[in-house]
Amino acid sequence: MKYSALKGIQDILPPDIHIWQKVEFTALEIFRKYGFQEIRLPIIESTDIFIRSIGETTDIVEKEMYTFPDKAGRSITMRPEGTAPAVRCYVEHHLYNLPSPQKFFYSGPMFRYERPQKGRFRQFYQIGVEAFGVSHSSMDAEIISMLRNLLEGIGLKEVNFEINSIGCDKCRPDYRNALLNFFKSRLSDFCPDCQRRYELNPLRILDCKVERCIELRQGAPLVTDHLCSECREHFDELIFRLQTLKIPYTLNPNLVRGLDYYTRTAFEVTSEHLGAQKAVAAGGRYDKLVEEFGGPQTPAIGFAIGMERIVTLLKETWTEDHPAPKVFIATLGKEAEIEGFKIAEDLRAKGLWVEPNYGGASLKSQLRKADRIDAEFAFIIGENELKAGKVQWKNLKKSEQGEVEIKNILTLLT
RNA sequence: GUGGGCGUAGCUCAAGGGCAGAGCACUGGACUGUGGCUCCAGUGGUUGCGGGUUCGAGCCCCGUCGCCCACCCCA
């Protein structure tokens, strides 16, 4: 093989593309009902918007970004996620002057230089939504409900909604200290990764998969026991709303977020039908980020859907037929071929998918092709039909055949 | 970045150190202008790449590249 796509970067072909389009179309329809409007964001941005927002010490920033200097020496990064560009856009265009809330969605590729594995690629697609300007938990409940409706709308079953609150900059430091205190005495028993997490991001220890670490962290303080009264109230209200809407959820006090900008509500949708990378969507609040980007104090919340993972799940149960032509036109001889070409154009003008035979071949091979591409009808046009102004039609699904005058073709097909 | 598994025809996979094969797909024929089913034939390979051991390597050894899975991290 002389050339192939880069590691972790893949082509998306039919028939997969039909599943992608179904997800995108459904999302469009559902977002419209919730007043989320599309924005199109650049794929490359100034590097610092990601460093500032995602966090300097995260793996994404430290080793996973596609960063390069442009011709003028400016540091450019291919977006590893969508929230930072969305916030940059919101602030840059002073969208906070428009009536609040402002609700947006976007979709497109993200880039992270990681080792590929199941459900993880270097170029991967997300649909993201962001809602700016509402701190009340009714907004949290709304977007979680919207996400559920979307997943239901595309026919995704057996997913778990996990939610948590990770507090705000008022209460999280207290919780962090409580955690550090708890782990301090037995730190040397934890795995090397956790010892590193202790320094870098102790909340992540709660997330460790090593058996020994899971045992050791039994009895660790829970973030939900350390929330300040405002965060507590916000979280309780969200849970109440979810119950009102009968949205099934699991409280997971060990659910943490990898990106630094999150506050309060954190949630994740997972599936057991994927590999280790089982999150199909995730999101949360980021009430401080707009300010950090130089905008006014503006609460916000959003989530992102991992397209490849959704498509993987949908493929398991996909039963829809692939799109197929209505008519294949088989012809014999040059004159018939030209007549067939004209008929194809006429039928297309009426909205039908028609495949001509592009030159000549034996009738047998033309019909074989009609069968292979799953056409519903085959038309046969030869000298006899030309003279009579008719075509032979053949319904390939029902194995029926007959003759029809060219001017009456449409009534046959509808 | 770390660990494990796997690289043979377009696809799925065989081949005990001894002639590189099958099924599917593709093209044609049986059937002169009628698809699917069946039968027959044909096209298609530097066995990922490079080196080594051997009379002889798809197979054993070393290196390298690629893919997959897991860790880290994350949608």
- pLDDT at residue A28, rounded to an integer: 97
* Hits for CB < 7 Å against strand B across A residues 258-287: 258-259, 268, 275-277, 279-282
Nucleotides of B under 7 A from a protein CB: 1-3, 25-29, 31, 33-36, 66-75
Q: What mean pLDDT, rounded, does chain A reach?
A: 91
| pLDDT, tens digit, 9 for 90 and up, residues A278-299 | 999 999 999 999 999 999 999 9
> Rounded CA gap, A262 and A53, in Å?
10
CA of A261 to C1' of B66 (A): 38
| pLDDT, tens digit, 9 for 90 and up, residues A388-404 | 999 999 999 888 899 99
ipTM of the complex, rounded to two decimals: 0.85
Cβ contact A104:A65 at 8 Å = no
Strand B atom within 7 Å of A385 CB = yes
CA of A365 to C1' of B43 (A): 17
A52: left (phi over 0), alpha (psi -120 to 50) or beta: alpha
A399: left (phi over 0), alpha (psi -120 to 50) or beta: left
Select the CATH number that applies to the domain covering A327-413 from these four: 3.30.1370.100, 2.60.120.10, 3.40.50.1820, 3.40.50.800: 3.40.50.800
To the nearest whole percent, how much of chain A has pLDDT over 70? 99
Cβ contact A300:A148 at 8 Å = no
Domain ranges (residues) in chain A: 16-171+227-317, 174-221, 327-413
Task: Tell which residue, A247, A243, A267, has the closest CA to residue A257.
Answer: A267
CA of A132 to C1' of B65 (A): 48
Q: Helix/strand/coil (H, E, C) string of A67-87? A: EEECCCCCEEEECCCCHHHHH
Q: Which residues contact A340 (CB under 8 A, 6 or more apart)?
A: A329, A330, A331, A356, A357, A379, A381
Strand B atom within 7 Å of A404 CB = no
Name the nucleotide nearest A277; use CA and C1'. Answer: B74
Backbone angles phi, psi at A52, to 5 degrees: -60, -45
DSSP conformational letter for A188: G
Q: Token pair of A114, please? A: 């990681």
| pLDDT, tens digit, 9 for 90 and up, residues A223-246 | 999 999 999 999 999 999 999 999
Question: Per-residue confidence at A142, pLDDT binned at 50, 70, 90?
Answer: very high
Highest mean pLDDT among A27-36, A265-274, A348-357 belongs to A27-36
- pLDDT at residue A311, rounded to an integer: 93
Instruction: Report the 10 Å Cβ neighbour count for A326.
Output: 17
| pLDDT, tens digit, 9 for 90 and up, residues A148-161 | 999 999 999 889 99
Topology of domain A16-171+227-317 in CATH is BirA Bifunctional Protein; domain 2 (3.30.930)
* Hits for CB < 7 Å against strand B across A residues 22-81: 58-60, 64, 81
Name the nucleotide nearest A308; use CA and C1'. Answer: B75
> Rounded CA gap, A256 and A269, in Å?
13
| pLDDT, tens digit, 9 for 90 and up, residues A100-140 | 999 999 999 999 999 999 999 999 999 999 999 999 999 99
| Torsion sign, CA atoms A214, A216, A219, A220 | negative
Q: Which residues of A363-395 are buried (b: 16+ CB within 10 A; e: fewer)?
A: eeebbebbeeeebbbbbbbbeebbeeebbbbbe
DSSP-based three-state secondary structure for A292: helix
pLDDT at A2 over 70: no
Q: Name the more confident of A262 and A343.
A: A343
Instruction: Report the 10 Å Cβ neighbour count for A193.
Output: 14
Q: Token pair of A406, please? A: 């060219």
SS3 content of chain A, % helix, strand, coil (to 5): 40, 20, 35
Tell me the H-state helices in A101-154: 137-153
Q: What is the mean pLDDT of residues A303-307?
A: 97
pLDDT at A98 over 80: yes
To the nearest whole percent, how much of chain A has pLDDT over 90? 62
DSSP-based three-state secondary structure for A236: helix
CA of A11 to C1' of B7 (A): 21
Q: Name the more confident of A319 and A182.
A: A182
pLDDT at A216 over 90: no
> Rounded CA gap, A37 and A86, in Å?
12
The burial of A184, by beta-carbon neighbours within 10 Å (0-12 exposed, 13-18 middle, 19 or more buried), is given as exposed
- pLDDT at residue A1, rounded to an integer: 56
CA of A1 to C1' of B57 (A): 23
Rounded CA Rg of chain A? 28
Question: Per-residue confidence at A60, pLDDT binned at 50, 70, 90?
Answer: confident
- Of all helices (H) and strands (E), which one includes residue A398? none
Helices and strands, counts by H and E, chain A: 15, 16
Question: Per-residue confidence at A54, pLDDT binned at 50, 70, 90?
Answer: confident
